[in-house]
Amino acid sequence: MSSTVPLVVRLLASSVSVANRAGKIVRDVMSKGELGIVEKGKDDYQTEADRSAQKCIIAALAAQYPKLSIIGEEDREENEPEVPSDWLVVDADKEVLALTCPADLQGVKEEDIVVWVDPLDGTSEYTQGFLEHVTVLIGISVNEEPVAGVIHQPYYKTMIGGEKKMGRTIWGLREAGVGGFTPAPPPDSLIITTTRSHSNPLVEKALQVMNASQILRVGGAGYKVLQLLEGKASVYVFASPGCKKWDTCAPEAVLAAAGGKLTDILGNNYKYGASVGKPNKTGVLAAVNHDLHNYALSRIPQELKEALANK
Ligand SMILES: Nc1ncnc2c1ncn2[C@@H]1O[C@H](COP(=O)(O)O)[C@@H](OP(=O)(O)O)[C@H]1O
Ligand SMILES: [Mg+2]
Ligand SMILES: [Mg+2]
Ligand SMILES: [Mg+2]
């Protein structure tokens, strides 16, 4: 039955299940208490949770879809040791499997797809105990464009029938919409969400010019986009290099499926083909609808755009 479901939809359904498993790895590493922190660069850390969650996601997706290009944030070893068998998730989310695939994506083949994996977005926050900011991101791009994505929150708590359930998984597919949460309209006043742990003078300048009523400083590109989708913030502004393609692919796809828009600070779309440069050099500007995105873009002064473009 599932072989009649178009590949993009099947891959999204598998990604939802795999992200859930990766989220459990993220929680298990934290509860064991041995984070195994490695410093990759300035303000740039990796933990055992980043490493193991990525191995799980890549192994599980590659086993089922061997011709995909999968690009993950963390370096891969030359000869990756086998992963535990229970990481090789084969389940696929039933609600997603039932989605209607956009007409132009129905014939897409594995070779046409690039999957961008951020096994743990918000690592700084993870190591500092801001666990609700942490997400697992799986973005699916076709012809350089993010068309579908998963944002999993390992530490989101819900009560179901008096029992606490940990974790939730938000997904989006172009033209089909979003699921896994209840979208909410933007707040009445301009509330900006931005970085908590990677600010600098350019980032602060772009915040000043927005004239916002409030600025929320939180971790992770995934969590900031969730704040937009849930009506906690209006615009996500980050006028700095630092984010990479795996940070924005899934959030951009989910946001776009909900009617929003994510670009760089100049208003240009990033491209997500296998050979693109990984850094998002010209920052991030995102909003839950196109009007708010236009408004925010109109507030960014030309010299700030040039400062980023010439970096
Ligand atoms: N100056 C910088 N150096 C390294 N990574 C940066 C960065 N600025 C942003 N990032 C990365 O972009 C993502 C969102 O950042 P922020 O939380 O500051 O908004 C994080 O992803 P990871 O946590 O997956 O590495 C973060 O590490
Ligand atoms: Mg990182
Ligand atoms: Mg990230
Ligand atoms: Mg990461």
CA distance 116 to 72: 6
Give pTM, 2 decimals: 0.98
Residue among 38, 44, 135 to mutate when testing ligand 1 (max atoms within 8 A of CB)? 44
122 pocket-lining for ligand 1 (C-beta < 6 Å): yes
44 pocket-lining for ligand 1 (C-beta < 6 Å): yes
Residue among 46, 198, 218 to mutate when testing ligand 1 (max atoms within 8 A of CB)? 198
Residue among 123, 195, 240, 264 to mutate when testing ligand 1 (max atoms within 8 A of CB)? 195
Contact 143, 174 (CB under 8 A): no
Which stretches of the chain drop beneath a pLDDT of 50? Answer: 1-2
CA distance 134 to 154: 7
195 pocket-lining for ligand 1 (C-beta < 6 Å): yes
Give the ligand whose atoms come closest to the C-alpha of residue 38.
2
Distances (CA, A) of 225 to 52, 101, 168, 212, 241: 24, 23, 15, 17, 18
Give the ligand whose atoms come closest to the C-alpha of residue 44.
1
Using a CB cutoff of 5 Å, list residues around ligand 3, an ion: 118, 121, 247
Closest C-alpha residue for ligand 1 atom 22: 121
Can you give the chain as a three-state secondary structure string? Answer: CHHHCCHHHHHHHHHHHHHHHHHHHHHHHHHHCCCCCEEEECCEEECHHHHHHHHHHHHHHHHHCCCCEEEECCCCCCCCCCCCHHHCCCCCCHHHHCCCCCHHHCCCCHHHEEEEEEEEECHHHHHHCCHHHCEEEEEEEECCEEEEEEEEEEEEEEEECCEEEEEEEEEEECCCEEECCCCCCCCCCCEEEECCCCCCHHHHHHHHCCCCCEEEECCCHHHHHHHHHCCCCCEEEECCCCCEHHHHHHHHHHHHHCCCEEECCCCCCCCCCCCCCCECCCCEEEECCHHHHHHHHHHCCHHHHHHHHCC
Q: Residue 150 Cα, ligand 4 centroid: separation in angstroms? A: 14
Residue-averaged pLDDT of the chain: 96
Q: What does the pLDDT read at residue 290?
A: 98
CB atoms within 10 A of CB 66: 8
43 pocket-lining for ligand 1 (C-beta < 6 Å): yes
Nearest ligand 1 atom, CA 195: 19
Q: What does the pLDDT read at residue 3?
A: 63
- Report pLDDT digits (tens) over 14-32: 999 999 999 999 999 999 9
Distances (CA, A) of 221 to 105, 203, 240, 299: 26, 15, 13, 21
Contact 114, 141 (CB under 8 A): yes
What type of residue is 155? Y
What are the catalytic residues?
50, 123
Q: What does the pLDDT read at residue 121?
A: 98
248 pocket-lining for ligand 1 (C-beta < 6 Å): no
- Report pLDDT digits (tens) over 224-248: 999 999 999 999 999 999 999 999 9
